[in-house]
Amino acid sequence: LIPVGIFAWIAFSLPSIMVNYSYVLNVLSDPLGYGWDIFGTAHVSFNPFHPEIVPLIQGLLLLTGLYFGINRVYLSLTGLIAEPSKRKKTILLPALFALAVVNIFLKLYLG
């Protein structure tokens, strides 16, 4: 579940980064708000980076985390359980739990 959690946090943080990235240029050029223009970017207009594709990227990130989570569990059981069929039966319950968690996050993020 660690990869699922990490990718869910990345998906959660993504909208604030993608929508507000242009403020970084303004703050770097005028860090104290005194009207400075150190790098010549203090008067760059606000331009959000395609906010309409944020949910799509969030969904892809969550599904990627689900893949890595299930894949890591399967590979970590390789040394403990030799038979692939028993390995698949063993990871069935954690995989279903991870799928349920990702489904909840998808509904929260995508609406």
Boundaries of every domain in the chain: 2-110
41: pLDDT confidence band, cut at 50, 70 and 90? confident
Output the pLDDT for position 1.
Answer: 76
Question: What separation in angstroms does the CA of 31 have from each of 21, 42, 45, 70, 104?
Answer: 15, 9, 16, 44, 39
Output the pLDDT for position 30.
Answer: 84
Output the pLDDT for position 36.
Answer: 86
pTM: 0.78
